[in-house]
């Protein structure tokens, strides 16, 4: 399953009172793990930067004045997120700004049904709080020492780590790996599979089987594929036949 962890930075708190996006950061997750693919852009808000917002993210009007306008990157942004689930901390805030910008650009808005709000998840999982991103980093032992200022891509990367820990995705994957290792180990607990009442006809010829066993025997005494040869003596005989 593909998910996009997303964060934004803005000029203020209300997109309906003239505040604008100034940064978008996205991190791709596939089956609960970061793939390394990201989307990141700064944006020209076409207005001044209030001191309160600058204190949060450190992005000045001078720094942003030569950055692209939202309509110039809207297509690339929408292509990156595609129809994937969006994972956002305090999603109402970010989606409000994104949809305001998308509406100005004449683009389709983001439906709230495709959004996972990690703040709501955290409140259900840890009702006593606190559940700010920094608090969740401390709770799950995630290093956020780089977060001296808010930054959309950095915060998305940190939130991705928090989300994986909070939903148990990493533990689930490790558990599956351990079960697979146990099943491969001699005497391990492998799941029983019912036998077919009538066996399927072989799809390979005896000559092909003999050639395969002969090849496996050339891989060395410790090759893992030797474990799948039912009878090594037969395999050695097969090697002679194939030669």
Confidence of residue 185 (pLDDT cuts 50, 70, 90): low
Confidence of residue 216 (pLDDT cuts 50, 70, 90): confident
Both 217 and 129 in a single domain? no
Q: For residue 235, is pLDDT > 50?
A: no
Nearest to 29 by CA among 184, 202, 214, 166: 166
Which of 125, 147, 170 terminates a domain? The answer is 170
Residue-number span of the structural domain to which 236 is assigned? 206-242
Q: For residue 28, is pLDDT > 60?
A: yes
Both 94 and 7 in a single domain? yes
Both 50 and 147 in a single domain? yes
Determine the Cα–Cα distance for residues 125 and 123; give it in Å rounded to an integer: 6
At 106, list the tokens: 């004449």
Both 52 and 130 in a single domain? yes
* Mean pLDDT computed over every residue of the chain: 87
Determine the Cα–Cα distance for residues 97 and 95; give it in Å rounded to an integer: 5
122, burial (CB in 10 Å: exposed 0-12, middle 13-18, buried 19+): buried
Both 91 and 149 in a single domain? yes
Q: Is 177 a member of any domain? A: no
Which of 170, 196, 219 terminates a domain? The answer is 170
The CATH number given to whatever domain includes residue 142 is 3.30.420.10
Phi, psi of 42 (to 5 degrees): -95, 155
Both 66 and 155 in a single domain? yes
Both 30 and 148 in a single domain? yes
pTM summary value? 0.70
The domain tally of the chain equals: 2
Both 112 and 226 in a single domain? no
Which of 170, 191, 223 terminates a domain? The answer is 170
Residue 191 pLDDT? 54
Helices (H), ranges, 23-151 = 51-57, 61-64, 70-81, 91-104, 118-125, 133-140
Both 228 and 150 in a single domain? no
Q: For residue 84, is pLDDT > 80?
A: yes
Catalytic residue, from 57, 126, 150, 212: name it.
150
Q: For residue 192, is pLDDT > 80?
A: no
Chain segment 32-59, per-residue pLDDT in tens: 999 999 999 999 999 999 999 999 999 9
Q: For residue 172, is pLDDT > 80?
A: no
Residue 218 pLDDT? 84
Question: Between residues 60 and 179, which one has the greater pLDDT?
Answer: 60
* CA 153 to each of CA 45, 68, 139, 206: distance values in angstroms, whole numbers, following the listed order: 18, 17, 21, 58
Query: What average pLDDT does the segment 144-173 reach?
Result: 88
Residue 239 pLDDT? 47
Contact 97, 7 (CB under 8 A): no
Contact 115, 88 (CB under 8 A): yes
Check residue 17 and report its DSSP letter: G
Determine the Cα–Cα distance for residues 2 and 96; give it in Å rounded to an integer: 23
Q: Is 196 a member of any domain? A: no
Percent of the chain with pLDDT over 90: 67
Both 124 and 34 in a single domain? yes
Active site residue 212: no
Q: For residue 20, is pLDDT > 90?
A: yes
Residue 186 pLDDT? 56
Taken in order 87, 93, 96, 98, is the CA torsion positive or negative?
negative
At 243, list the tokens: 């030669």
According to DSSP, the residues that pair with 28 across neighbouring strands are 4
């Amino acid at each position: 399953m593909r998910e996009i962890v997303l964060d934004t930075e803005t000029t203020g708190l209300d997109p309906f009172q003239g505040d604008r996006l100034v940064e978008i950061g996205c991190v791709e997750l596939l089956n609960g793990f970061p793939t390394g693919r990201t989307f990141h852009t700064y944006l020209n808000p076409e207005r001044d930067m209030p001191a309160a917002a600058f204190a949060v993210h450190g992005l000045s009007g001078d720094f942003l004045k030569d950055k692209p306008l939202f309509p110039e990157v809207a297509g690339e942004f929408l292509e990156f997120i595609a129809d994937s689930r969006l994972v956002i901390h305090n999603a109402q805030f970010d989606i409000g700004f994104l949809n305001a910008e998308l509406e100005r650009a004449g683009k389709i808005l983001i439906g709230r049904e495709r959004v996972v709000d990690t703040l709501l998840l955290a409140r259900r999982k840890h009702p006593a709080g606190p559940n700010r991103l920094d608090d969740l980093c401390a709770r799950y032992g995630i290093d956020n020492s780089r977060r001296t200022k808010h930054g959309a891509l950095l915060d998305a990367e940190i939130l991705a780590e928090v989300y994986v820990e909070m939903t148990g995705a990493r533990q689930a994957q490790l558990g599956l790996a351990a079960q697979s290792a146990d099943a491969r180990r001699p005497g391990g607990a492998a799941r029983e599979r019912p036998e077919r009442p009538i066996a399927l006809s072989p799809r390979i010829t005896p000559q092909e089987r003999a050639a395969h066993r002969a090849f496996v025997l050339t891989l060395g005494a410790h090759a893992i594929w030797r474990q799948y040869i039912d009878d090594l003596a037969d395999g050695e005989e097969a090697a002679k036949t194939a030669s």
